[in-house]
Structure formats: structure tokens, C-alpha cells
């Protein structure tokens, strides 16, 4: 199982980075989302996959019985998923606003503020 997940994670990283290298804004965002999925799966796999009992101490037990699945990585992933959901929603809204005000989704055309002699700067 680890081997399969390792390939999946590697594939997600590769796809994410490839998408981020494209010029389109939307593809950039898809790339970012893929990166965060890859990181989540990486936490899941690195914290060991155990096909085993619940991490709950029974009524008549004093300690956890081995082997048990570690619940903490899942809590970490859940937090990370919530965060990346919010961030992705924001990034989508941002890209839509950007498209509205620049009329392009070509990242190569988004460098007016980097040019040394720029008088079109529009900040408040």
C-alpha cells in the first residue's frame, strides 16, 4: 500500500508543479490545490498506514491494545484540509477579480509593477 501511495503522491507533486509552471492563472491555482493534496497524503503515508483497531480504550482496558491506528495524523490532515479549502476559495475569488481588472489570465502579462519606470501604478 505504501508503494502505491508513494507513486500517487509523487504523481500529484509532479502534476502540481507542472501546472504551476504553465502561464495560465487557472492552471496555477489547480497546481496549488494539487500540491496541498499531495502534502496531505504525504502526512497520511509518512505517519504509517496501519490496518488495525481503533485508538479507543475499551471499558475494561487500561491502555491501548497494539496495534492501533494513530489518530493524530488524521487530525492534522483534517486541519490542513480545512485551511486549504479556505485558502483555495480565496485564491479563486482573487483570480476572478484579477481577471476582471486585467482582462487576461496570462501570467506573463502580469508584470507591469515590476518594470522600473512605471507610472500606471494604481494603488490607493
Partner 1 sequence: MNNLLILPIIIPMFTGILALLAYNSRTAQRWLSVLGSSALLSVAVWLLVEVGRNGILVLQVGGWQAPFGITLVADLFSSIMVVLTGIIGLAVAVYSLAIIDPDHEKFGYHQLYQFLLMGVSGAFLTGDLFNLYVWFEVMLMASFVLLALGGGRGQMEGAIKYVTLNLMASAVFLAALGLLYGMTGTLNMADLAYKFSKGLSAEQSGLITTLSMLFLIAFGIKAAVFPLFFWLPASYHTPPVPVSALFAGLLTKVGVYALIRVFTLIFTQDVGFTHTLILFIAGLTMVTGVLGAVAQGEFRRVLSFHIISQIGYMVMGLGLFTPLALAGSVFYIAHHIIVKTNLFLISGVVKHLHGTLELKKLGGLYQLMPHLGVLFLIPALSLAGIPPLSGFFAKLSLIQAGLEKGDFFIVAVSLAVSLLTVFSMMKLWNETFWKPLPQNEELSAKPLSKKQWISMLAPIVVLAAITIMIGLGVSPAFSLALQAGEQLMNPSAYIQAVMEITP
| Contact positions vs partner 1 (CB under 8 A) | 20, 25, 28, 32, 35-36, 38-40, 42-48, 70, 72-73, 76, 79-80, 83, 86-87, 90-91, 94-95, 97-98, 101-102, 107, 110-114, 116-124
CA 42, CA 90: separation in Å to the nearest integer? Answer: 24
Nearest to 43 by CA among 79, 67, 91: 79
Q: How far is the CB of 7 from partner 1 (least distance, A)?
A: 16
Q: Which is nearer to partner 1, 62 or 122 (CB)?
A: 122
Nearer to partner 1, 69 or 91 (CB): 91
3-state secondary structure of 103: coil
User: 60 or 121: whose CB is closer to partner 1?
Assistant: 121
Phi and psi torsions of 68, nearest 5°: -135, 155
Show Cβ contacts of residue 18 under 8 Å, excluding neighbours closer than 6 positions: 31
Amino acid at each position: 500500500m505504501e508503494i502505491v501511495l508513494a507513486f500517487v503522491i509523487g504523481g500529484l507533486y509532479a502534476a502540481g508543479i507542472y501546472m504551476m509552471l504553465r502561464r495560465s492563472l487557472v492552471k496555477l491555482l489547480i497546481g496549488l490545490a494539487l500540491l496541498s493534496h499531495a502534502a496531505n497524503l504525504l502526512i497520511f503515508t509518512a505517519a504509517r498506514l496501519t490496518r488495525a483497531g481503533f485508538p479507543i480504550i475499551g471499558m475494561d482496558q487500561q491502555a491501548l491494545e497494539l496495534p492501533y491506528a494513530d489518530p493524530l495524523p488524521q487530525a492534522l490532515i483534517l486541519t490542513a484540509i480545512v485551511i486549504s479549502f479556505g485558502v483555495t476559495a480565496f485564491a479563486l475569488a482573487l483570480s476572478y477579480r484579477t481577471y476582471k481588472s486585467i482582462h487576461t489570465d496570462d501570467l506573463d502579462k502580469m508584470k507591469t509593477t515590476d518594470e522600473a519606470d512605471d507610472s500606471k501604478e494604481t494603488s490607493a
